[in-house]
């Protein structure tokens, strides 16, 4: 390739030092105990942290205070459940509904999905606005139970979940109606265990989150309850398994011998501001960035400066700020949750508006001595 040393020097200057993609920040927003040092909080925090799926896991007390929408917006997703009363279940329900509308992920677990008390389940607009998945306030059994049928083994909420038992398996009624969404897994008596909502950032769990490390009757740590809860929270944070956008253009095989691929998950609602870009089939231990434009295009070989094709036209913005220069690591992939209010465009930024099409691509190193390459393109039509 012509002028390769100059190109590599320019690429290094553009990219700078590579950084890992940011993992989600999540919170336990529960009424688990009167004390946030109780194991009903700290056990869950410990195993979520150990999962390595999250950048941070924060405990937010809902017994002595009610977090505002602004408080919730500090996190990509939250999990809530009750063992004692929420301070204000109506205000919390209103705030949680607003949080979901703004793209936040919410997982609700037992007893938040089964308590007969209005003070131990989300109320207000959460109920009147249709945000609940498993109908609440119906009670439920607490006798021994184990993992039953996994109806959709391909769903990410149940990845790595092979066993689950509990002596006191707190769960919804087997006959509890599902008000929306899709049943993914059941207990052995048919009670709902995992249900994903119509909105991709909503999940309900028919499981009491603390493990037998906290109390012997809770779900047994010999099983995969920790994996299940971590999966559900990750799915809610990333907008679920819903892929969005349409691929176009042709990618040239990179140093691995195959073309790299562009994808995205989340919501096409511009107001929800919930989109995560992903690039896969990349060379391992390299670095790259995402690029964006309102226009598609096709420039073979980037006019002789790359091994790959640019699939964007017009003004092209680059996600090359701090925390946006990404490493492919050992898996050969990276991802970035973007802010639709500040899409990079030249020397400034532009917001995404409903009715607009925006196209994305990843620009990455092909491997040592192989220059750079590009994924295929992805266009998202926003509503």
**CA dihedral defined by 69, 70, 76, 81, rounded to 10 degrees?**
-40
- Residue 23 has a pLDDT of 80
Three-state SS at 234: helix
Cα 183–chain centre separation: 19
Ranges in the chain annotated CATH 3.40.50.880: 25-237
- Residue 194 has a pLDDT of 98
How do 287-293 and 317-318 pair as beta strands? antiparallel
Mean pLDDT, the chain, whole residue set: 90
Rounded mean pLDDT, 21-29: 84
Contact indicator for 193, 205 with CB cutoff of 8 Å? yes
CATH architecture of the domain with range 243-381: Sandwich (2.60)
Residue 6 CB contacts under 8 Å (≥ 6 apart), including other chains: none
At 111-159, the pLDDT tens digits run 999 999 999 999 999 999 999 999 999 999 999 999 999 999 888 899 8
- Residue 136 has a pLDDT of 94
At 35-47, the pLDDT tens digits run 999 999 999 999 9
Rounded mean pLDDT, 230-247: 81
Helix axes 225-237, 39-50, angle to 10 degrees: 70
Per-residue pLDDT band for 9 (boundaries 50, 70, 90) equals: very low
Ranges in the chain annotated CATH 2.60.40: 243-381
- Residue 200 has a pLDDT of 76
- Residue 8 has a pLDDT of 35
Whether the predicted pLDDT of 324 surpasses 70: yes
- Residue 28 has a pLDDT of 98
Query: What topology does CATH give the domain 25-237?
Result: Rossmann fold (3.40.50)
> CA triplet 251, 284, 154: central angle to 5 degrees?
75
Least confident span in 2-11, 122-131, 358-367: 2-11
* Predicted TM-score of the model (pTM): 0.64
At 190-233, the pLDDT tens digits run 999 999 998 878 999 999 999 999 999 999 999 999 999 999 99
Whether the predicted pLDDT of 182 surpasses 80: yes
DSSP string, 279-328: EESPPTT-EEEEEEESEEEEETHHHHT-SS-EEEESS-EE--STT-SEE-
Percentage of residues in the chain having pLDDT higher than 70? 93
At 282-315, the pLDDT tens digits run 999 999 999 999 999 999 988 888 889 999 999 9
| Bridge partners, residue 79, by sequence | 28, 107
């Amino acid at each position: 390739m012509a002028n390769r040393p100059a190109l590599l020097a320019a690429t290094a200057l553009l990219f700078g030092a590579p950084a890992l993609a940011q993992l989600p920040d999540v919170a336990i927003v529960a009424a688990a105990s009167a004390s946030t040092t109780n194991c009903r909080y700290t056990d869950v925090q410990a195993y979520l942290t150990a999962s390595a799926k999250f950048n941070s896991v924060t405990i937010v007390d809902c017994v002595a205070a009610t977090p505002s929408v602004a408080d919730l917006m500090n996190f990509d997703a939250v999990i809530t459940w009750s063992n004692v009363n929420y301070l204000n279940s109506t205000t919390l329900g209103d705030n949680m509904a607003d949080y979901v509308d703004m793209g936040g992920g919410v997982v609700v677990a037992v007893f938040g999905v089964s308590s007969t008390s209005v003070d131990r389940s989300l109320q207000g607009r959460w109920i009147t606005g249709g945000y609940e998945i498993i109908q609440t306030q119906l009670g439920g059994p607490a006798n021994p139970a184990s993992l039953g049928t996994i109806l959709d083994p391909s769903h990410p909420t149940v990845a790595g979940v092979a066993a689950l038992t509990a002596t006191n398996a707190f769960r919804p009624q087997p006959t509890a109606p599902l008000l929306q969404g899709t049943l993914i897994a059941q207990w052995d008596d048919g009670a709902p265990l995992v249900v994903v909502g119509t909105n991709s950032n909503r999940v309900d769990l028919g499981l009491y989150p603390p493990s037998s490390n906290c109390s012997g009757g809770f779900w047994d740590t010999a099983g995969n309850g920790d994996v299940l809860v971590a999966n559900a929270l990750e799915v809610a944070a990333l907008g679920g398994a819903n892929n969005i956008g349409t691929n176009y253009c042709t990618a040239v095989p990179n140093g691995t011998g195959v073309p790299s691929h562009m994808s995205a998950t989340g919501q096409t609602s511009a107001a929800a501001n919930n989109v995560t870009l992903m690039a896969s089939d990349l060379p391992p231990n390299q670095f790259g960035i995402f690029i964006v434009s309102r226009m598609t295009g096709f420039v073979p070989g980037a006019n002789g400066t790359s091994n790959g094709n640019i699939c964007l036209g017009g003004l092209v913005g680059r996600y090359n700020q701090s925390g946006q220069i990404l490493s492919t690591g050992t898996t050969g992939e990276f991802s970035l949750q973007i802010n639709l209010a500040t899409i990079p465009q030249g020397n400034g930024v532009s917001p995404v508006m409903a009715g607009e099409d925006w196209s994305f691509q990843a620009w990455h190193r092909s491997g040592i001595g192989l220059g750079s390459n590009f994924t295929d393109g992805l266009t998202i039509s926003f509503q």
